[in-house]
Structure 1
Amino acid sequence: MINKLENLLNFNQKALGLRAARQELLSGNIANADTPGFKARDFDFSKAMQNASPQQIQNFSLATTVPRHISSTDFRSITSVPKQYRVPQQPSIDGNTVDMDTERMQFMDNAIRYDAGLTFISGQFRTLLSAIREGN
């Protein structure tokens, strides 16, 4: 039963982890908008989802009391997602490639998709709880 639950949530767990990592990267771009020479970075989310595997993501361990507890993975510390530099639409003299309009748009799009992922997982848990309650 635990394996089925883990398989059901695995895709969403990866997606939320990658969305969180992307949000950190985008917020770093926004925070460094005035840093001379800073190069705005991002990664291709769909490629990262296709390539995400436990070997590419650093694990961290939580204290568990029962060996059957579900293992957790920290998707925020992505080690092998190839980061790409943005090509500036209007280059600045100081070498900074952050375009605030682009960064804000990407940040909000990613935030909305992250929120949608949380809503979807919440719905899955409500469905599972409903099925468990009806089974009793």
Structure 2
Amino acid sequence: MALSMDKLLGIQQYTLGIRTQRAELIANNIANADTPGYKAKGLDFQQALAQAQRGIQSHSLARTHEKHFSVEISPQGQEKFRVPSQPDTGDGNTVDVQVEQNLYAKNALEYEMTMNFLNGKISGVKKALGSGQA
């Protein structure tokens, strides 16, 4: 009987990559909080997850010359500019550090929750596979 990782892990395996990308975006926002003209970015998690569920894994770029490298691009969630919740301070920066820190903490908890879920699934499979040995 073949073991399908997609059936075993479900959509949770894709959420890790999306949560990682989201953490990078939020960290960039926090790092650029004092950069004039910087626009805070966010990630549409539901859109990215739907894209992963549809099975869009990668796209190959066409090689136009034999010396070109073969390249595959894995699609990621679409970055979008965040609607500012505070009035413009005059420098055009739309980052609200408190909002970004809260989003980062929430994302970190969700990432940890997903990791714990996947660890539980993998531990269960390891236990099931090991139970046949004696």
TM-score (norm 2): 0.77
SS in 1 for 2:80: strand
Is 2:116 the counterpart of 1:119? yes
Alignment-derived partner of residue 25 in structure 1:
25
Listed as ranges, the gaps of 5+ residues in structure 1 are 60-76
Distance 1:18 1:98, change over 3 A: same
User: Are the counterparts in 1 of residues 45 and 77 from structure 2 also a CA contact under 8 Å?
Assistant: no
For structure 2, the 5+ residue unaligned runs are 61-72
Cα offset, 1:54, TM superposition: 5.4
SS in 2 for 1:51: helix
Partner Cα distance (1:92, 1:78) in 2: 37
Q: Report what 1:89 is aligned to.
A: 85
Equivalent residue number for residue 65 of structure 2: none
For 2:124 and 2:76, the matched residues in 1 are separated by 34
Q: Which amino acid is 1:113 matched to?
A: E
Question: For 1:80 and 1:115, how far apart are their aligned partners in 2?
Answer: 20
Contact 2:18–2:76 (8 Å) recurs in 1: no
Secondary structure in 1 aligned to 2:11?
helix
Q: Which amino acid aligns with 2:120?
A: G
**Which residue number corresponds to residue 73 of structure 1?**
none
RMSD: 2.4
Distance in 2 separating the partners of 1:95 and 1:102: 17
What is the count of residue pairs matched by the alignment?
A: 120
User: Which segments of structure 1 move beyond 4 Å, counting only runs of 4 or more?
Assistant: 56-59
Question: Aligned partners of 2:81, 2:94: CA distance in 1, in Å?
Answer: 9
Q: 2:107 matched to which residue of 1?
A: 110
Task: Give TM-score scaled by structure 1 length.
Answer: 0.76
Tell me which residue corresponds to 1:13. Answer: 13
**Rg larger in structure:** 2
Q: Which amino acid aligns with 1:96?
A: N
